Each structure stands twice: as structure tokens, then as C-alpha cells.
Amino acid sequence: MGKASQHTELMTPARMLEQLNDAIVILHADGQVLFANQAAHTLLDEEDLTGQPIELFLEPGTVMQKEREPILLELNSADQMLVQIRNWKLNDGYICLFIHPVRFKDQKENQMYALKYRMNQSHEGMVLHQAGQIIDCDDSLAKIFGYNKSELIRASIDEFIDSSYFHTLKENMKKDHDKPYLLKGYKKSGEPLYIDVLPQPYPDKDGDLRIAVIRDVTERVQSEKQIQFMAYYDELTDLPNRNYFVKTLEEAIAECRKDNGQIAVHFVDIDYFKQINDTLGYQFGDALLRACSHRLKQLLDGNNFIARMSGDEFLILQRDIQNKEEAEAFAEKVIQAFQTPIDVQDFEIFTTVSIGISIFPENGNHPNELIKQADSAMYVIKENQRNHYKIFESSITEDFKEMLTIENELRRAIKQKQFEVHYQPQVDISNNQVIGFEALLRWKHPSRGYISPGMFIPLAEKTGLIIEIGDWVLREACRQNRKWHQKGYGPTKVSVNLSVKQFLQKDLVKKVRDILQESKLDAKYLELEITESMAMSNEAYIMDTLKGLKELGVNVSIDDFGTGYSSMKYLSQFPLSKLKIDQLFIRGEQKQNQAIVKSIIHLSHSLDMKVIAEGVETREQLEFLKGEKCDEIQGFYFSKPVAPGKAERFFSYH
């Protein structure tokens, strides 16, 4: 449409519109002014508006919208006059604007209406207040706080705001700004909520009337708090997490540098947790971790800080120590805290902890370095002893390098069949006859020779290779014993140690049955050895496994007896055939250990179980055990573990 036709179309209405007192502007769809009456020229202070873009005077994005509801805007002029605008969509894309200046006495009503129209969320409300007293509000605001509108009028804002936020409220009420600020309030029910307060301009020249949009942001704030909690706290145990620990450790190191002080980092690992978790499920494992964290929390005081590292690992910062002996004393205190069983879902769980310790500044100057060194020390004590602690030493780093090399070669050893089974004879003490053998794994490295089991067995446990290796030992021991029987040797039993991972397999009974069938060995000639701590870890599950093995005809004995914390109730209920006295009590000082050995022998016989002593090396030890009516013995006094061919010399022909 050309300019002439536009004037023709607008000629008749233009004469009419010029007579109106309200400012009227007609725009093309692109925002260009096609017509403006005299009132518009006067209001906008422009001699000729025709052909000019409306954005010179008003915000185009607002006035070009299709809705007809009134809106409040400030003119793009020096005095920033407040005007009310209604817009109408005409034919052919034209837009007609009715612009009306807002008189001061109309501002409250118009501004509240405009704000109300612009709010598009149900959780937003509006309030008009004077010096903290509510003059007016809308129903949305009343709903946010759980009141009727009439209950809020003339009330003080302070009545609904948390007192800790009064300062924030007062400071912001004095300012002229349009940035939101956060307040914590309370609903009529007493339920807390968080609100964003967005002040709006209100040109009250004679008083201190103010208007604000109130937005309920409780859900957002709670999410932010949850995110912050997750950043610094462990959700499962409610303990600080590794991030928080590192931050706290950094601060402690800075203080020590000023005062030339010392601190200790304790890396605490729950023994056998993975096996319990794999056997009883993650929910039980989580419950156990919560129980362990609760026990650790009992050690909290002003000089230590406890956090959960990950999994079954915890970190403890011990401040203001004078020497390493204080760190060791605290580690012993942690170990002592786990001497009594933990109640988890009606189970009594006997568990222990292994602790690695690093000391600032001796073992490191930075948080991650100290944590790493403590972790390394924990790894060493866990693999060699458990239920104990170790302070980091520089030699540990070299040992780790060696361990990594051995791990790679261990995997190669399985493929290349470098493993052997040696057999140590077990002797009936009453007649000196060999009645069985303990099968013991040996690794004959092609260049290093025999590698100590103490070096590679813990590594096999940690990497999970022990399952494959252990199954091979069990199969090989059964095959070898069957071969001896076929030669006319025996009948003798073979005793096989089960690792924790092996014993806690859900299909262990089936696996043993299959191996016995495969080797054609009678089940009564197989004895499986488990440790005392394994047997006490979860009596319900253990009972099912032991009953299954008994039904097969397989005997089960407790190895290393006396080093754990067995309950007599469990021992009396478990279908066990034998207790093996740990060599620690055989080789130790006679006066301190003889009473323990006597008690174990008497206990075994009272429970209708046999007892065997391992680690017998001298004639004196043999005579003592014989006098106490120990049933069986094994040790270097008779023979070290030997290869199958050499073991045959201990047999008697039948």
C-alpha cells in the first residue's frame, strides 16, 4: 500500500481522532508511526511523529504485543513520564495505541494492576507497604503465606519474616533499586519458606510507599541447599565428604605452618566390607556404613575432623599433635571402638578397621599428598595384618612399584600355569600317623623363583584374581588326593584354605559339589578352612553355606582360631568339625600362651570338635600339646610344605 492510499484510508478517522483529548498513535506492523493526533504530539513533545519509529519514544517490544490489557511504561524522555497504554490490533497489521498519562493519585491502582498483569506465575504475589506496614496486597501473596488477604492488611512485614533476616529487610527497604533479594519467612502454619523480593518503582513524592513483587522460591533454595550439601557432605552418612576434608585440611596445614605444629591424617578402611556388601546386598552395606560412621562420630572432639572418603573408607584429621606416638594412640582408640559387634538389621556384625597414618610436615606438605601417603600405609597394613595401623614410610612407595609389577606378572602366571600346590602333612598326635595334608599355593616365577605368598595372595585378593586361583587350588587338591587314593595311599583328607571372596560366593556349595564330582573324590576326604573373622561376619548367611557343605559331606574347620572375637553361641551352632590353633600361640612365650592353648583345646572338645595346632617347630611344643590332648598337629617339626611327589613318602600302604 502506497503513502497516498494510506492517507486516504486514514483521512476520515484522522479528522475524528484529532478531536480526542487522549493521545492516539497508529503504527505499521514494523513499528513505524503512520498517524498521531495532536494530543500525541503534545504528550511526546514532537512536532511531527509521522514516519518515525516508535522505539524513539516507547519500548517497541512491549507496545507491539497483541493483548489489549493496559500496561504501564515510562516514556523515553528526560522526565520519564509514567503513562498507561492500551493497544489494539487493526486490519492489515496496523496497531493503534491509546496513551494516557498517569496522574499521581492513580499510580497505586494502575501500577498494582500493571504489575499484576505482568506476573505470569502462580507462586508470585504483590504487596504495597509503607515503612514495613502492609497497605495492600493481592490474593496470590496471601495464598503464598497461607492467610486470607484481610489478615495481612495493616500487619507488619516483620511478623512473617525470620528474625535473622530483619537486617537484610531493613537495609533493602531503604534502597531504591530493582534487584531481587532473598528473605526467609514463615507461613501461617509455621512452615518456613523462602521468597525473592523484587522492588518496583513507585513515585511517591509525599511519603515512603513502596511496592514489590514477591516470588516463592522455596523449592529453588532447597535445591541449592541440597546441591551445597552434596558438594561438601556425604548423603549416606551425613559426614563431611572428601571435598570438605581437603578444605579443612588445607586450613589446618596453614595454621601449622604459622605455629610450626603437626597434624595427622588417618585413612580408615572397614575390613571385609566388600565381601559383606556383595553377599548381603547394597542396602545392608549402606546400613553397615551408617552404623560405622555413627561409631566414628563418637570419637569427635575439638581436635579432630571426620569425613567419608568413598565406599568403606573414612578420613580423620587429628590436630595439634606433638609426636607420632599421639597419632598411634588415637589410631588404637579407633580400633578399640570396633571391638564390640555392630548391630545392623538384627545382625551382629563383627568387623575391624585397618588404618594408615601420615603426618604433616614429615610425610607431606599438601592435602592430597598426605591423603595419598595415609592411603598407601593403610593398604600395606590391610594386606599384611588388618585390624591394626601403620604410619607411612618412604619405603612404602618403592613397595608399591614392586607390587604393580607383581600384579602384571600375576595375571601372566595364571595364563602360563606357573602355580603349584604343595602339601604339608597333618599328624595324629596319638600315633604319629599322617592323616591328611594342607594344600598350600606356591608361585614359581620363571626368573624370580618362588615368590612369597605374603606378597601375591593379598594382591590376588584385592584384584579379584583369587577367585580363579582359589578354584584352581581346590580342583587341583581334590584331583591330587583322588590320584593318591587310586595308588593305594591313604585314605587321607586334604585341607584347602578358602579366601574371603571364595567363601562368600553365593554358588560356593554348587561349585564344591561340581569339583568333587569332576575329581571323583569322596566328600569326606575334603576339608575346607575358613578364618574366624570370616565365620563371624554374618552368621545367618554363613550358617546356610555351612549346612550346604555338611549335606555334601564336606568338613569345615576354623583356621587361625584365637585371633578373632568369636561368640560361643555361634561356634556351638555352626556345623564345624575342627578348630585350628593359630601358630602365634604356639610360637609365643610359653607362660603367656599356654593358658590360651589349653582353653582352646578344652573348648573344642566340649563342642565335640577336634583341635589341630599349626606352626609346631620344637619337641617341647609337641610334648606340651600331647600332654593337653591336642588331636592333630602340623609344622616344620615334621615337615615343611612339599611338592606332591615328595609328599608320598608320608603315606602308609594298605
Please, is 486 exposed, middle or buried when counting C-beta atoms within 10 Å of its C-beta (0-12, 13-18, 19+)? exposed
Q: Do 50 and 36 form a contact (C-beta atoms < 8 A)?
A: yes
Q: Do 86 and 97 form a contact (C-beta atoms < 8 A)?
A: yes
pLDDT tens digits for 632-645?
Answer: 999 999 999 999 99
The Cα–Cα gap between 178 and 196 comes to 12
Percent residues over pLDDT 90 in the chain: 35
**CB atoms inside a 10 Å sphere around CB 646:** 13
Task: Tell me the residue type at 95.
Answer: I
pLDDT at residue 228 in the model: 63
Q: What angle do CA 65, 67, 70 make, to 5 degrees?
A: 100
Q: Tell me the mean pLDDT in the region 173-177.
A: 69
pLDDT at residue 460 in the model: 86
pLDDT at residue 3 in the model: 43
With cell 553361641, the residue in question is 569
Task: Write down the pTM of the prediction.
Answer: 0.46
pLDDT at residue 291 in the model: 93
pLDDT band at 80 (very low <50, low <70, confident <90, very high): low
Q: Do 152 and 145 form a contact (C-beta atoms < 8 A)?
A: yes
> 592 pLDDT exceeds 70?
no
> 527 pLDDT exceeds 90?
yes
Picking from 113-127, 193-207, 244-258, 495-509, which range would have the lowest pLDDT averaged per residue? 113-127
Cell numbers linked to 517: 564330582
pLDDT at residue 105 in the model: 42
Which of 250-254, 391-395, 596-600 has maximum average pLDDT? Answer: 250-254
> 509 pLDDT exceeds 90?
yes
pLDDT tens digits for 158-168?
Answer: 899 998 888 88
The Cα–Cα gap between 512 and 648 comes to 25
Residue of higher predicted confidence among 72 and 283: 283
Q: Tell me the mean pLDDT in the region 435-439.
A: 95
pLDDT tens digits for 36-69?
Answer: 888 888 888 888 888 898 888 877 666 666 555 5
Contacts of 129 (CB under 8 A, 6+ apart): 135, 157, 209, 210, 211, 212
CA 389 from chain center: how many Å? 24
For the CA atoms of 225, 228, 232, 236, the dihedral, rounded to the nearest 10 degrees, stands at 50
pLDDT tens digits for 206-216?
Answer: 556 778 888 88
> 192 pLDDT exceeds 50?
yes
The Cα–Cα gap between 592 and 613 comes to 17
Coil/strand/helix, residue 186? strand
CA 447 from chain center: how many Å? 44
> 525 pLDDT exceeds 70?
yes
Q: Which helix (H) or strand (E) holds 471?
A: helix 465-486
Q: What is the mean pLDDT of the chain?
A: 83
Beta strands in 285-397 (DSSP E): 304-310, 313-321, 342-344, 347-349, 353-360, 389-391
Residue of higher predicted confidence among 599 and 327: 327
Give the CA distances from residue 492 to residues 434, 517, 530, 612, in Å, rounded to whole numbers and listed in that order: 8, 18, 20, 16
pLDDT at residue 67 in the model: 54
Q: Tell me the mean pLDDT in the region 274-291.
A: 83
